Amino acid sequence: MADVVVGIQWGDEGKGKIVDRIAKDYDFVVRYQGGHNAGHTIVHKGVKHSLHLMPSGALYPKCKNIISSAVVVSIKDLCEEISAFEDLENRLFISDRAHVILPYHAKKDAFKEKSQNIGTTKKGIGPCYEDKMARSGIRMG
């Protein structure tokens, strides 16, 4: 059986904190979609962790963590998050079909924000999804 935590407000509902509270009891935690624009802060064993791409299960040694193909990945930000953890070997799996956010995505995002004031974080998430839908994006694999 699987349990799913779903948000219906486009973020900021506290999904990450809920997953953190229950992750220790699960074998797998999956980051289904999104990018590094949002995040959540967790205090685990007295240490503060800010997670943007990493699934909350990364804090628990028995939990395997999956970043799915629907996630858009900033390699730089993911590497920074990974470096905050001691042992993710055989516990972190990233879909080879997840799309990579490239520098031009962030530039395009910033230009759109300046010209259209759409409320973006300017991190390139929207333009990366545009490339994904157009089947022209670069994937992890």
pLDDT band at 83 (very low <50, low <70, confident <90, very high): very high
Q: What are the tokens at 36?
A: 């590094």
Strand, helix or coil for residue 66: strand
Query: For the residues 27-32, what does the mean pLDDT come to?
Result: 93
Q: Which helix (H) or strand (E) holds 43?
A: strand 40-44
Average pLDDT, the chain: 91
132 is annotated as an active-site residue: yes
What global pTM score does this model have?
Answer: 0.89
pLDDT at 11 exceeding the cut of 70: no
Is domain 15-99 in CATH 3.30.1360.200, yes or no? no
Higher pLDDT, 114 or 132: 132
- CATH 3.40.440.10 positions along the chain are 15-99
Catalytic residue among 64, 108, 123, 132: 132
Phi, psi of 20 (to 5 degrees): -60, -40
List, in order, residues 6 or more apart from 17 with CB less than 8 Å away.
Answer: 40, 42
